[in-house]
Structure 1
Amino acid sequence: MAAQDELESYQLKKKIFPGPIDVHPTENAIIVNYTAQAAILGENGQPVAGDKKTCQKVIRIKSLNPNSNISSMAQGIIEKCKLIHPSRANEVEQLLYYLQKRNANADDSDKAWLKKQLDDSRVSDEARESEIMIAQNEPSSLSQIETYIEGLYEEIKEKIHSTRCILQLAKIPENMPTLVANESLMSALSRVLREDGRRSMELVTNIIYIFFCFSNFSEFHPVITANKVGDMCLRIADQELTRFNLLVQDIQKFEERVSFHLLLNLAEDLNIEVKMIKRDIIKYLIEMLDRNTPELLLLIVTFLKKLSVFQENKDQMLKYSTKLLDKLETLIQSEHQGLQGLSLRLILNLSHDHQFRDLFIKRNFVSKLVNGLSKKNYLMVTLQLLYQLSIDQENRECSDFAEAIPHILRMILEYKGDRVNLEIMALGINITTVYEYSRIIVEENGLKFLLKRALKTRDPLLFKMLRNMCEHDDISIKMRFLDGIDEMMVLLLNSADNPDLMVEILGVLGNLNIPDFDWGKLAASYNLLDYLAAIITKSLRGTVEISESIGQGVEENDDILLQAIIVLGTMANDENIAPMVAQTSILKILVNTMMKVIDYLIDLLYDRNVEIRKVCDAALSIIGEIDEEWDRKLRRQKFTWHNSEWIKIMTQQEPTDLIEESAVILGPQTSLNLSQDMYDTKREYRSHSYIDSDDEDDDEKPEIGGSNALLYGPM
Structure 2
Amino acid sequence: ERKEKTSKPKDPPPFEGTEIDEVANINDMDEYIELLYEDVPDKVRGSALILQLARNPDNLEELLINETALGALARVLREDWKQSIELATNIIYIFFCFSSFSQFHGIITHYKIGALCMNIIDHELKRHELWQEEIAKKKKADILLMFWYPENQTLKKDYEKTYKKYKGLVVKQEQLLRVAIYLLLNLAEDTRIELKMRNKNIVHMLVKALDRDNFELLILVVTFLKKLSIFMENKNDMVEMDIVEKLVKMVPCEHEDLLNVTLRLLLNLSFDTGLRSKMVHVGLLPKLTALLGNENNKKVAICILYHISMDDCFKSMFAYTDCIPQLMKMLFECPDERVDLELISFCINLAANKRNVQLICEGNGLKMLMKRALKFKDPLLMKMIRNISQHDGPTKSQFIEYVGDLAAQISNSEEEEFVIECLGTLANLTLPELDWELVLKEYKLVPYLKDKLKPAGSAEDDLVLEVVIMIGTVSMDDSCAALLAKSGIIPALIELLNAQQEDDEFVCQIIYVFYQMVFHQATRDVIIKETQAPAYLIDLMHDKNAEIRKVCDNTLDIIAEYDEEWAKKIQTEKFRWHNSQWLEMVESRQMDDSEQYLYGDDPIEPYIHEGDILERPDLFYNADGLIVPDGAVSPDIFGDYQLQNGDLVGQHPFSA
TM-score w.r.t. the length of structure 1 is 0.65
2:370 is equivalent to residue 451 of structure 1: yes
Q: Tell me, in whole angstroms, the C-alpha distance in 1 between the residues paired with 2:582 and 2:71.
A: 76
Superposition pairs of residues 609-648 of structure 1, within 5 angstroms: 613=544, 618=549
Q: Tell me, in whole angstroms, the C-alpha distance in 1 between the residues paired with 2:594 and 2:429.
A: 59
Query: Is the contact between residue 319 and residue 356 of structure 2 (CA under 8 Å) also seen in structure 1?
Result: no
Query: Is the contact between residue 351 and residue 387 of structure 2 (CA under 8 Å) also seen in structure 1?
Result: yes
Q: Secondary structure at the match of 2:429?
A: coil
2:410 is equivalent to residue 492 of structure 1: yes
2:21 is equivalent to residue 136 of structure 1: yes
Pick the aligned partner of 1:467 from 383, 386, 391.
386
Offset at 1:673? 8.9
Structure 1 residue aligned with 2:398:
480
Superposition pairs of residues 502-541 of structure 1, within 5 angstroms: 502-537=419-454, 539-541=455-457
Letter in 1 for 2:316: E
Q: Tell me, in whole angstroms, the C-alpha distance in 2 between the residues paired with 1:389 and 1:148.
A: 57
Offset at 1:392? 1.1
Q: Tell me, in whole angstroms, the C-alpha distance in 1 between the residues paired with 2:371 and 2:594.
A: 73
Letter in 1 for 2:86: E
2:466 is equivalent to residue 563 of structure 1: yes
Q: Secondary structure at the match of 2:453?
A: helix
2:503 is equivalent to residue 585 of structure 1: no
Q: Tell me, in whole angstroms, the C-alpha distance in 2 between the residues paired with 1:169 and 1:48.
A: 15
Offset at 1:534? 1.2
Query: Is the contact between residue 49 and residue 256 of structure 1 (CA under 8 Å) also seen in structure 2?
Result: no
Query: Is the contact between residue 426 and residue 470 of structure 2 (CA under 8 Å) also seen in structure 1?
Result: yes
Pick the aligned partner of 1:354 from 260, 273, 281.
273
2:262 is equivalent to residue 343 of structure 1: yes
Q: Tell me, in whole angstroms, the C-alpha distance in 2 between the residues paired with 1:386 and 1:616.
A: 34
2:354 is equivalent to residue 390 of structure 1: no
Offset at 1:613? 4.8
Q: Tell me, in whole angstroms, the C-alpha distance in 1 between the residues paired with 2:381 and 2:262.
A: 31
Letter in 1 for 2:433: D
Q: 1:584–1:337: structure 2 CA closer, same or farther, 3 Å change rule?
A: same
Query: Is the contact between residue 367 and residue 400 of structure 1 (CA under 8 Å) also seen in structure 2?
Result: no
- Percent identity among equivalent residues? 34
Structure 2 residue aligned with 1:265:
186
Q: Tell me, in whole angstroms, the C-alpha distance in 1 between the residues paired with 2:469 and 2:501.
A: 19
Letter in 2 for 1:241: L
Instruction: String of CA shifts for 1:381-437, please: whole Å, max 9, x gaps.
Output: 111111011111112222456421101111111211321111111111001100011
Superposition pairs of residues 54-203 of structure 1, within 5 angstroms: 136-142=21-27, 144-203=28-87
Offset at 1:311? 0.8
Offset at 1:172? 3.5
Letter in 1 for 2:51: L
Structure 2 residue aligned with 1:546:
none
Give aligned pairs, total: 513
Structure 2 residue aligned with 1:274:
195
5+ residue gaps in structure 1? 10-41, 54-131, 542-554, 605-610, 639-669, 678-685, 690-697, 704-715
Q: 1:597–1:616: structure 2 CA closer, same or farther, 3 Å change rule?
A: farther
Q: Tell me, in whole angstroms, the C-alpha distance in 1 between the residues paired with 2:66 and 2:51.
A: 15
Q: 1:688–1:482: structure 2 CA closer, same or farther, 3 Å change rule?
A: farther
2:114 is equivalent to residue 225 of structure 1: no
Letter in 2 for 1:271: R
Structure 1 residue aligned with 2:477:
574
Pick the aligned partner of 1:423 from 332, 337, 342.
342
2:225 is equivalent to residue 294 of structure 1: no
Q: Tell me, in whole angstroms, the C-alpha distance in 1 between the residues paired with 2:201 and 2:416.
A: 52
Q: Tell me, in whole angstroms, the C-alpha distance in 2 between the residues paired with 1:415 and 1:503.
A: 24
Q: 1:208–1:597: structure 2 CA closer, same or farther, 3 Å change rule?
A: closer
Offset at 1:380? 1.0
Q: Secondary structure at the match of 2:440?
A: helix
Structure 1 residue aligned with 2:169:
250
Q: Tell me, in whole angstroms, the C-alpha distance in 2 between the residues paired with 1:629 and 1:217.
A: 82
Structure 2 residue aligned with 1:306:
227
Q: 1:346–1:630: structure 2 CA closer, same or farther, 3 Å change rule?
A: same
Instruction: String of CA shifts for 1:102-122, please: whole Å, max 9, x gaps.
Output: xxxxxxxxxxxxxxxxxxxxx
Query: Is the contact between residue 420 and residue 463 of structure 2 (CA under 8 Å) also seen in structure 1?
Result: yes
Structure 2 residue aligned with 1:404:
323
5+ residue gaps in structure 2? 135-165, 508-541, 560-565, 596-656
Q: 1:634–1:530: structure 2 CA closer, same or farther, 3 Å change rule?
A: farther
TM-score w.r.t. the length of structure 2 is 0.71
Offset at 1:346? 0.7
Structure 2 residue aligned with 1:50:
14
Offset at 1:185? 2.8
Instruction: String of CA shifts for 1:252-274, please: whole Å, max 9, x gaps.
Output: 11222311110100111112111
Structure 1 residue aligned with 2:627:
none
Superposition pairs of residues 649-664 of structure 1, within 5 angstroms: none
Offset at 1:444? 3.2
Instruction: String of CA shifts for 1:609-633, please: whole Å, max 9, x gaps.
Output: xx99565995899699987999999
Letter in 2 for 1:177: E
Q: Tell me, in whole angstroms, the C-alpha distance in 1 between the residues paired with 2:56 and 2:572.
A: 89
Q: 1:463–1:478: structure 2 CA closer, same or farther, 3 Å change rule?
A: same
Q: 1:509–1:154: structure 2 CA closer, same or farther, 3 Å change rule?
A: same
